[in-house]
């Protein structure tokens, strides 16, 4: 289908910038797989980072900038559709007809590019303040693409408290001659020690999961530029989402997400996104995605785009509930890890690089048996891996999401076996507190009267 009428520019978008169509990069234009025009203009200014900030939208020469809660629902798509649909259509097609044997339009084959995927990628790039963003089939697929930037013999520096699947993929890469140095990335001295000219990637999660420890993003970027000039700093920003933390603005080269979590928000989709700050990295990442065929399918792109529109309201509510739950648990004398608590040891650092504490917290009970009793006595919290869903979830990471990390390694990395992780949803906070309270009573951790 060839749609020819140009879309109207959104009122706040100067047509010369955000909606502009740039020529495909050289990496892709040389093949028959054309690159869709997904490059977006970098953010002209740092906007207020969340809806809670009360500064008024400023008007620059590039047009007004909106707060993130507005940005998430405002699509600046350059989709050429004659009917001006309010919702981005699903282009459920593998191929696009060419205009002649040797010329084709913006798209020719969905592995290489699809209009629904382009709309999603432009939207994500805007939210992350990225030069360009990409949508792939899962969070692990995003990391797989990123690690293909590493050559045999080069090294990766990564944390010790990391997502189980990340640990598994890095372990697999050892067999390909790519070594990972695991250090405590929340300790700059350990990061400095691990960096060298052979380092290709520095991989951060912050706050870490499930221990909720904070890495100094700008500090790691600075050290990396000094000591490892060939390295790219990569942040797995899944825990915070671009609504609460924007690592590219702190100098990071690549930010990626499991879109399965907060971006989607409903646990009904697997997806990953990669947002990059430079054209060179964008070309390399696009090449790998097109070569390996992991681009997100059109229907899934549409679902993710729909999920992202409510990211702001979900995050605000989930975070508010998480504060209430964390305060309740702390009041019972339990050891709670949550960046929103005044007792959180790295609160100042977290607040300096994020605009909120998020909705994932963990706590220790002192015994795995007690923890198991609590987890199994909860009625409202589902026992489930993952997070970012509108429903509240409870888990024991050492038995579930992090079980793929061998027990002795978990011990070395000081991951407490009794740790309980809570991922807070959008329910009424008082119901969540009451459910946890009755579970603590069952486990004889709390008195029956609140
Ligand atoms: C879930 C998750 C991943 C992996 O994403 P999938 O979409 O499950 O492949 C990576 N990093 C973090 C922090 C995650 O929570």
Atom number, ligand 1, closest to the C-alpha of residue 140 = 9
**Cα 139 to averaged position of ligand 1 atoms, centre (Å):** 5
The pTM for the full model equals 0.85
- Is the pLDDT reported for residue 121 higher than 90? yes
**C-beta 258 within 6 A of ligand 1:** yes
Q: What is the CA radius of gyration of the chain?
A: 22
If phi over 0 gives left and psi between -120 and 50 gives alpha, with beta otherwise, what is residue 305?
A: alpha
379 in active site: no
261 in active site: yes
**Candidate from 145, 146, 161, 165 with most ligand 1 atoms within 8 A of CB, to mutate:** 165
Give the number of other CB atoms < 10 A from CB of residue 140: 19
What pLDDT, on a 0 to 100 scale, did the predictor assign at position 256?
A: 98
For the chain, give the percent of residues with pLDDT over 90: 73
Q: What is the pLDDT of residues 122-181, one digit of tens each?
A: 999 999 999 999 999 999 999 999 999 999 999 999 999 889 899 999 999 999 999 999
What pLDDT, on a 0 to 100 scale, did the predictor assign at position 413?
A: 78
Give the helix ranges, DSSP H, for 195-346: 217-227, 241-244, 279-292, 298-308, 311-331
**Cα 386 to averaged position of ligand 1 atoms, centre (Å):** 8
329-354: average pLDDT: 97
Q: Report the chain's mean pLDDT, rounded to a whole number.
A: 87
- Is the pLDDT reported for residue 62 higher than 80? no
Q: What is the pLDDT of residues 191-243, one digit of tens each?
A: 999 999 999 999 999 999 889 999 999 999 999 999 999 999 999 999 999 99
Q: Which of 144, 216, 236, 300 is catalytic?
A: 236
Q: List the domains of the chain with CATH numbers.
A: 130-297 (3.40.640.10), 311-442 (3.90.1150.10)
243 in active site: no
Residue in the structure block whose two tokens are 């899962």: 138
Atom number, ligand 1, closest to the C-alpha of residue 205 = 13
What pLDDT, on a 0 to 100 scale, did the predictor assign at position 63?
A: 52
163 in active site: yes
**C-beta 235 within 6 A of ligand 1:** no
> What is the residue with the minimal CA distance to atom 4 of ligand 1?
139
CA atoms within 13 A on the CB side of 407: 3
**C-beta 261 within 6 A of ligand 1:** yes
Q: Which of 122, 126, 132, 261 is catalytic?
A: 261
Residue in the structure block whose two tokens are 């530029």: 225
**Cα 224 to averaged position of ligand 1 atoms, centre (Å):** 25
**C-beta 167 within 6 A of ligand 1:** no
């Amino acid at each position: 289908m060839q749609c020819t009428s140009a879309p109207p520019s959104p009122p706040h978008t100067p047509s010369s910038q955000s909606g502009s169509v740039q020529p495909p990069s050289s990496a892709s234009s040389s093949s028959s797989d054309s690159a869709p025009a997904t490059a977006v203009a970098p953010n002209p200014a740092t906007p207020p980072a969340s809806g809670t900030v009360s500064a008024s939208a400023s008007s620059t020469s590039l047009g007004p900038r909106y707060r993130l809660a507005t940005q998430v629902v405002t699509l600046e798509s350059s989709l050429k559709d004659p009917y001006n649909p309010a919702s981005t259509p699903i282009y459920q097609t593998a191929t696009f007809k060419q205009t002649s044997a040797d010329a084709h339009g913006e798209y020719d084959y969905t592995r290489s590019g699809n209009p629904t995927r382009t709309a999603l990628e432009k939207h994500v790039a805007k939210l992350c303040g990225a030069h360009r963003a990409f949508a792939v089939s899962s969070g692990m697929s995003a990391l797989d693409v990123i690690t293909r930037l590493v050559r045999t013999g080069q090294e990766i520096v990564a944390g010790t408290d990391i997502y189980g699947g990340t640990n598994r993929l890095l372990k697999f890469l050892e067999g390909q001659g790519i070594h990972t140095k695991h250090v405590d990335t929340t300790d700059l001295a350990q990061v400095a020690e691990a960096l060298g000219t052979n380092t290709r990637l520095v991989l951060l999660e912050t706050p870490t999961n499930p221990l909720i420890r904070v890495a100094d993003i700008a500090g790691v970027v600075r050290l990396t530029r000094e000591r490892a000039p060939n390295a790219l700093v990569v942040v797995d920003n899944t825990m915070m989402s671009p609504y609460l933390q924007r690592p590219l603005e702190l100098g990071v080269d690549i930010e990626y997400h499991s879109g399965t979590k907060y971006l989607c928000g409903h646990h009904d989709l697997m997806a990953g996104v990669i947002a990059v700050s430079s054209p060179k990295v964008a070309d390399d990442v696009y090449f790998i995605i097109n070569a390996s065929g992991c681009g997100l399918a059109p229907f899934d792109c549409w679902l993710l785009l729909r999920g992202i529109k409510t990211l702001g309201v979900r995050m605000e509510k989930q975070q508010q509930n998480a504060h209430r739950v964390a305060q309740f648990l702390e009041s019972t004398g339990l050891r709670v890890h949550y960046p929103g608590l005044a007792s959180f040891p790295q609160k100042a650092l977290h607040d300096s690089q994020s605009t909120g504490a998020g909705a994932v917290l963990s706590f220790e009970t002192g015994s795995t048996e007690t923890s198991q009793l609590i987890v199994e006595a909860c009625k409202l919290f589902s026992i489930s891996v993952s997070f970012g869903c509108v429903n509240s979830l409870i888990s024991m990471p050492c038995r579930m999401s992090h079980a793929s990390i061998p027990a002795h390694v978990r011990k070395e990395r000081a991951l407490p076996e009794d740790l309980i992780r809570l991922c807070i949803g959008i329910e009424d906070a008082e119901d969540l507190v009451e459910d946890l309270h009755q579970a603590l009573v069952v486990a004889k951790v709390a008195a029956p009267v609140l």
